[in-house]
Amino acid sequence: MTRIVVLTGAGISAESGVPTFRGPDGLWEGHRIEDVATPDAYEADPGTVLAFYDARRRALASVAPNAAHRALARLEDAIGPELLVVTQNVDDLHERAGTGNLVHMHGELRRALCGWCGARPAWDGDLIDRPPCPECGERMLRPDVVWFGEMPYDLDRIERAVVACDVFASIGTSGAVYPAAAYAALAASFGARTVELNLEPSDALVPFDDARAGPATELVPAWVEEMLAVCT
Ligand code: APR
């Protein structure tokens, strides 16, 4: 039995056409990250922030999972809950590819978060018009995405899986944001083998046992084939 934790970031969705956060111009879809992804930005200018995420949510309709998302779903088909995928992405491409054992640690575009009652309803429409919360009726819905300075979701579950895994793979993430950036080092300190699959080597806290550079749609299917040979 090989327990695997896969951490994914924006790089796994890049070839599906979802822009990464830290592109060469340092902007996210033309915005500085701090202008659209902090509680202060939302308080100062909720309209801009809501419109920004409404556009991101609508854009999901025109993208599709790629070979890397599908390969991870194949791995889960083969080994079941021994694989946990932890994604920092707020898109829904892992679930559309068929991954079920999935944690969205930075939230999901396709959910809203009620600032009044804390409900997290599934949400596919816009939020800019301040629709009522389906639970409490208050008009305080915001995107259910974790902004800088806020607590990511499911940290206990993630950390339990990270310290117990045999293989930890980091895919398409720059390693710039904590706590996700610390998970590879944590897994290694508990004896896991660590692998990085990224377009370029990231600024890792501790070197990966195996660091492979290239596009996710090539590297991930090849790595999954290797895992299937070992695990099944
Ligand atoms: N295949 C593999 N890796 C890729 C590809 C690709 N086709 N394209 C880009 N990458 C790599 C980049 O080299 C970079 O290292 O993906 C990484 C993307 O890094 P970021 O844009 O920083 O995204 P991520 O690591 O997911 O950001 C973490 O930051 O803004 C916050 O909450 C947001 O979840 C996000 C978090």
Alpha carbon nearest to ligand 1 atom 15, residue:
174
CA distance 132 to 114: 9
pLDDT on residue 26: 62
Alpha carbon nearest to ligand 1 atom 30, residue:
21
Atom of ligand 1 nearest to the CA of 10: 26
Strands 107-114 and 141-145, sheet pairing? antiparallel
Taking residues 92-114, report their average pLDDT.
Answer: 98
| Residue 179 Cα to ligand 1 middle (Å) | 15
Q: In the chain, how many domains are there?
A: 2
Q: How many residues does the chain have?
A: 232
Considering the domain architecture, whether residues 81 and 160 belong to the same structural domain is answered as: yes
Q: 152: Cβ below 6 Å to ligand 1?
A: no
**Which residues are known catalytic residues?**
106
Considering the domain architecture, whether residues 225 and 139 belong to the same structural domain is answered as: no
Average pLDDT, the chain: 95
The answer for residues whose C-beta is within 8 angstroms of residue 26's C-beta and 6 or more apart is 32
Q: Which of 89, 116, 145 is the last residue of a domain?
A: 145
Taking residues 93-97, report their average pLDDT.
Answer: 98
Q: 90: Cβ below 6 Å to ligand 1?
A: no
Considering the domain architecture, whether residues 26 and 139 belong to the same structural domain is answered as: yes
| Residue 88 Cα to ligand 1 middle (Å) | 9
Does residue 24 surpass a pLDDT of 90?
no
Q: 20: Cβ below 6 Å to ligand 1?
A: yes
Considering the domain architecture, whether residues 53 and 72 belong to the same structural domain is answered as: no
Does residue 9 surpass a pLDDT of 80?
yes
Which band of pLDDT confidence, cut at 50, 70 and 90, is reported for residue 34?
confident
Considering the domain architecture, whether residues 218 and 166 belong to the same structural domain is answered as: yes
Considering the domain architecture, whether residues 72 and 35 belong to the same structural domain is answered as: no
Considering the domain architecture, whether residues 192 and 82 belong to the same structural domain is answered as: yes
Considering the domain architecture, whether residues 48 and 79 belong to the same structural domain is answered as: no
Q: 109: Cβ below 6 Å to ligand 1?
A: no
Q: 199: Cβ below 6 Å to ligand 1?
A: yes
Residue-wise pLDDT for 192-224, tens only, equals 999 999 999 988 888 999 999 999 999 999 999
Query: At 187, which CATH number?
Result: 3.40.50.1220
Does residue 107 surpass a pLDDT of 80?
yes
Atom of ligand 1 nearest to the CA of 215: 1
Considering the domain architecture, whether residues 68 and 180 belong to the same structural domain is answered as: yes
CA distance 159 to 85: 12
Alpha carbon nearest to ligand 1 atom 29, residue:
177
> What percent of the chain lies above the pLDDT cut of 90?
88
Considering the domain architecture, whether residues 113 and 207 belong to the same structural domain is answered as: no
Does residue 178 surpass a pLDDT of 70?
yes
Q: 198: Cβ below 6 Å to ligand 1?
A: yes
Considering the domain architecture, whether residues 119 and 172 belong to the same structural domain is answered as: no
Q: Model's pTM, two decimal places?
A: 0.97
Residue 139 lies in domain: 20-62+108-145
Query: At 138, which CATH number?
Result: 3.30.1600.10
Does residue 31 surpass a pLDDT of 90?
no
Query: Concatenated DSSP letters for 148-172?
Result: TTSPPS-HHHHHHHHHH-SEEEEES
Considering the domain architecture, whether residues 91 and 132 belong to the same structural domain is answered as: no
